[in-house]
C-alpha cells in the first residue's frame, strides 16, 4: 500500500474548500507589481480555510453564483502598500473583497447576505465590491453591516447599514 505524501500547506493549488483555492485567497496584483510575496503564516493559513467556508456559505445564498475574490489575505507589507488598516482582518486571513456579477451588483450581494443567516463578522458595501470578514476562532459573529463612503483624499468614512 502506498502512502500519499503530505500536501504542502503553501501550495497555491491547495483546495481550502470545494470552490476556493489558496491561490484565489492570496492573490494580490498590487503586491505582484511591487515584487512582494503574499504568503500567509501562522494562524492566517488556518483562518483562510475558515474564510473559504464562509465564502461557500455566501455562494449558497447567492444561488451558487461564482465569487470573484480581488483581495483575501494580505501580508503586512502588502496591506501597508494598499493603505489597509493596521487592524485589517485581511492580514489575519479573515477577510475577502469580492464581486459576484452573475448574481448582481455589489449592493444586491450585500442585501442578500445581510438578509441571510450567514455568520459573518463584518459585511461592508464598498461601492464596486463587497468586503466580508469571518469571525476569529471562538468569537461570536457580530454581523456588523456597514457602507464605506469614499471622499477624494479623505479617510474612508463608514455608515451603519447599507446606504
Average pLDDT, the chain: 93
How many structural domains are present in the chain? 1
pTM score: 0.91
Residue 134 in domain: yes
Residue 4 in domain: no
Residue 119 in domain: yes
CA 96/CA 125 separation, integer angstroms: 12
Write out pLDDT tens, residues 86-136. 999 999 999 999 999 999 999 999 999 999 999 999 999 999 999 999 999
Residue 1 in domain: no
Q: Strand, helix or coil at 126?
A: coil
Residue 41 in domain: yes
Q: Are 124 and 95 in contact (CB under 8 A)?
A: no
Residue 94 in domain: yes
pLDDT for residue 3 is more than 60: no
pLDDT for residue 21 is more than 90: yes
- Residue 152: phi and psi, rounded to 5, are -35, 115
CA 51/CA 70 separation, integer angstroms: 14
Residue 7 in domain: no
Q: What is the span of the domain harbouring residue 56?
A: 15-160
Q: Which residues lie closer than 8 Å to 137 by C-beta, 6 or more apart?
A: 43, 46, 47, 50
Judging by beta carbons within 10 Å of its beta carbon (0-12, 13-18, 19+), is residue 1 exposed, middle or buried?
exposed
Residue 9 in domain: no
Residue 71's CATH number: 3.30.1380.10
Look at residues 65, 40, 60, 47 and name the one whose alpha carbon lies nearest to residue 133: 47
pLDDT of residue 11: 75
Q: DSSP character for 11?
A: -
Amino acid at each position: 500500500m502506498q502512502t500519499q505524501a503530505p500536501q504542502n500547506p503553501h501550495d497555491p493549488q491547495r483546495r481550502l474548500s470545494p470552490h476556493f483555492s489558496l491561490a484565489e485567497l492570496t492573490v494580490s496584483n498590487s503586491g505582484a507589481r511591487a515584487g512582494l510575496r503574499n504568503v500567509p503564516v501562522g494562524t492566517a493559513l488556518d483562518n483562510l480555510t475558515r474564510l473559504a467556508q464562509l465564502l461557500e456559505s455566501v455562494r449558497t445564498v447567492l444561488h451558487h453564483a461564482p465569487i470573484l475574490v480581488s483581495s483575501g489575505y494580505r501580508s503586512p507589507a502588502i496591506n501597508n502598500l494598499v493603505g489597509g488598516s493596521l487592524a485589517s482582518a485581511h492580514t489575519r486571513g479573515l477577510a475577502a473583497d469580492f464581486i459576484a456579477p452573475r448574481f448582481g451588483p455589489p449592493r444586491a450581494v450585500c442585501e442578500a447576505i445581510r438578509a441571510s443567516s450567514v455568520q459573518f463578522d463584518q459585511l461592508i458595501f464598498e461601492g464596486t465590491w463587497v468586503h466580508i470578514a469571518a469571525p476569529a476562532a471562538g468569537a461570536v459573529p457580530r454581523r456588523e453591516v456597514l457602507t464605506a463612503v469614499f471622499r477624494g483624499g479623505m479617510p474612508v468614512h463608514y455608515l451603519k447599514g447599507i446606504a
